[in-house]
Amino acid sequence: MKSYKVLTVCLGNICRSPAAQGILESVATKRGVFLELDSAGTAAYHIGNPPDSRSIKALHQVDIDISRQKARQVTKDDFHEFDWILAMDSENLFNLKKIQPKNSKATLVMFGEFNDQAKFGEVADPYYGGDDGFAEMRKHLIAIADAFVHHLHSNRED
């Protein structure tokens, strides 16, 4: 069975992208799809830090543990290492396109494009809000992850 290497990306790698990584791992495991996952940020604000405690809490509520993840910044090597790089919003997609090396193998898209619940493919950043925003982010990411894993599963090459 084909496996995929997937990188989820947001700005600081402490809210959306670590949550997306944890949710994708959970959804893929339940569906029997093998993914190698990581997450990163386009900015270097939080390198080495764990995810935001509100992201950890929101995912813990659905039995997903992301507490051991550590923030890192996207590198040019990521574009050659990963099959998919999934941006959480258009600003991060723009920043990723600026550093994407020519002839890289990664497919670079907005994660929200896989589910029509996302406005313009965007996953809203809950960082400056309260717990409700993190619960909404979790719900949104679960729907998108399910659609993405379905896409991979239905288009796989065994």
Q: From the candidates 15, 16, 38, 54, which is the catalytic residue?
A: 16
d(CA 86, CA 20): 9
Q: Which of 52, 78, 89, 125 is catalytic?
A: 125
Asked if 36 contacts 3 with a C-beta cutoff of 8 angstroms, the reply is yes
Q: If you ran DSSP here, which 8-state letter would residue 63 be given?
A: T
Tell me if residue 125 is catalytic.
Answer: yes
Q: Please list the residues that pair with 110 across neighbouring strands.
A: 87
How many CB atoms neighbour CB 74 within 10 A? Answer: 25
Among candidate residues 10, 15, 89, 138, the one labeled active-site is 10
Q: Known catalytic residue: 16?
A: yes
Q: Which residues are catalytic?
A: 10, 16, 125
